[in-house]
Chains A and B, each alone.
Chain A
Amino acid sequence: AQSVTQLGSHVSVSEGALVLLRCNYSSSVPPYLFWYVQYPNQGLQLLLKYTSAATLVKGINGFEAEFKKSETSFHLTKPSAHMSDAAEYFCAVSEGGSQGNLIFGKGTKLSVKP
């Protein structure tokens, strides 16, 4: 069965600093992996997804994630944090390649200090 683990329920960075949100997955089949962002009082929004085409995936708002099979990781990064990046971020893996039945991690809340 697939699962994801997000390390750190809360991450705080200064504006302009590197953002690194960690995600490790467990999957018996080649995984489809996703990062979603949830701003306060809004729905989840897809940041990026990995579907085996390229290991480095670029998403919206300057975020990117790298799939590392040897480390079973799919960490999310952004070179320079903006105040507007403050939100909760969810890593997810899909069952059998479908985006439908997503299995989410518990989420990491990102705070950005001025």
Chain B
Amino acid sequence: GAGVSQSPRYKVAKRGQDVALRCDPISGHVSLFWYQQALGQGPEFLTYFQNEAQLDKSGLPSDRFFAERPEGSVSTLKIQRTQQEDSAVYLCASSLAYRGTTNEKLFFGSGTQLSVL
């Protein structure tokens, strides 16, 4: 596709359920980021992949959050035993360049809105 694609667009989960959110980055993009955007807040960094390597997971709020990108393209963010405070929009972004290079430009997906009841 032409842009970053995220699915599902909306997800409703009961508290305690596990969820998996998918991100299809732009083809050929080496860098992939996940952000969490709570209602009324700006996005907050969760984790960063360079190809299949997860180089930074400093933003993951707890060990219930897990992300993977096994083949260096599609990424999945998994949240185990969801809690109400996990309700947010989860944004994925990809970049052709490595993180930290001056010509790096992030392309964001439309996000997955997660509601935990």
Contact = CB atoms under 8 A, between A and B. Distances in A.
A44 B105 CA distance: 12
Given A100-B104, A104-B43, A107-B42, A43 B48 contact: no
A98 B48 CA distance: 12
Interface in B25-51: 31, 33, 40-45, 48
Interface in A36-55: 41-46, 51
A107 B44 CA distance: 12
Nearest to A44: B108
A99 B99 contact: yes
Interface residues of A, number: 22
Contacts of B67: none
Interface residues of B, number: 27
Given A100-B31, A100-B33, A100-B100, A46 B105 contact: yes
Contacts of A90: 42-43
B16 interface: no
Interface in A63-109: 90, 92, 96-107
Contacts of B62: none
A106 B100 contact: no
Interface of B: 3-4, 31, 33, 40-45, 48, 56, 59, 91, 93, 95, 99-100, 102, 104-111
Q: 5 shortest A-B CB distances, which residue pairs?
A: A104-B42, A43-B108, A100-B99, A98-B100, A44-B108
8 contacts: A43-B93, A99-B100, A99-B106, A100-B56, A100-B104, A102-B106, A104-B43, A106-B42
Interface of A: 9, 41-46, 51, 90, 92, 96-107
